[in-house]
């Protein structure tokens, strides 16, 4: 088993690498979008106009609709 670990990545190491690459990709896409749409980023408007309307939806519904993870949606979840 020790030999197997030295030759292959453990599942958790592989999962961590995949998660890290996914996060890095999301950050790159977010930076690119922000660069292309500087006028469309208004956090105050989002918090004032959008966040209160999200109370009508469950965390799972918000995540599914946005394609974001539950963790990313949790700050805007009802409650």
Residue 79: closest CA among 61, 57, 50, 47: 57
pTM: 0.51
Q: What is the pLDDT of residues 1-32, one digit of tens each?
A: 455 455 566 779 889 999 999 989 989 998 99
Q: What pLDDT does 28 receive?
A: 93
**For the chain, which residues make up each domain, given as ranges?**
9-41, 42-79
Coil, strand or helix at 55: helix
Contact 78, 55 (CB under 8 A): yes
Q: What pLDDT does 63 receive?
A: 92
Please report which confidence band the pLDDT of residue 46 belongs to, taking 50, 70 and 90 as the band edges. Answer: confident
């Amino acid at each position: 088993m020790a030999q197997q670990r030295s030759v292959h990545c453990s599942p958790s190491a592989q999962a961590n690498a995949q998660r890290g690459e996914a996060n890095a990709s999301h950050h790159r896409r977010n930076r690119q979008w922000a660069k292309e749409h500087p006028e469309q980023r208004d956090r105050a408007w989002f918090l004032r106009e959008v966040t209160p309307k999200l109370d009508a939806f469950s965390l799972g519904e918000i995540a599914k609709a946005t394609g974001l993870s539950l963790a990313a949606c949790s700050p805007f979840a009802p409650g």
